[in-house]
Structure 1
Amino acid sequence: METQQDIDQLAAAIYRDKVLRSRAMTPDERLMESFRLFHEALTFTKAGVADELGTTDETVIMAEVQRRFEVVRTIEERGSYQPWPPPSAQSQAA
């Protein structure tokens, strides 16, 4: 059985590997990777929406995804979203 310390070490190693791979990429490679990651996240989001709504209708699914993006955009524009933990707490922890 893995301990929390083992899991934390593995997570740190994976994070370091991702950072090193990203630093080794050209700007074009990073841009292409960002598109790939967005597409992957959108695929998972659409699957979740389809499950929640109980439909496979792509038009209905994309309308709901767009609605959710608009909610996030509205929250960000209003400044209602605050990262957690707050930046002041992050600097104290470091």
Structure 2
Amino acid sequence: MPAPVPPTHPEPAAQPATDVVRWAVFGCLLVPAVLLALGDSPGGAATVALGLAAITVACRVLLRRSVREGSRPSARPTEGAHRSDRAPRVVRR
């Protein structure tokens, strides 16, 4: 029986954050070009390009922070909301 062949394309969730940022930059360049081709003003296309670039930069910063925080071990307990060493108080009515 032959060995199974691994897929040539990785799953979308397995792509690194840099691939996502590359596609966002591509969109930042493509959208204004399409707007200009459809007859929008250069000022309007430039405004859209700047807005998309700002969103892309913000998302890149958040992605990098998320990856950095995900690789760091957490000091807080992972289960439950009660973090005290004290026994819970029972209220009787």
Structure 1 length-normalised TM: 0.34
In terms of fraction of residues, the more helix-rich structure is: 1
Q: Compare CA radii of gyration and give the structure with the larger one.
A: 2
Structure ranking higher on relative contact order (CA contacts 8 Å, 6+ apart): 2
Structure 2 length-normalised TM: 0.34
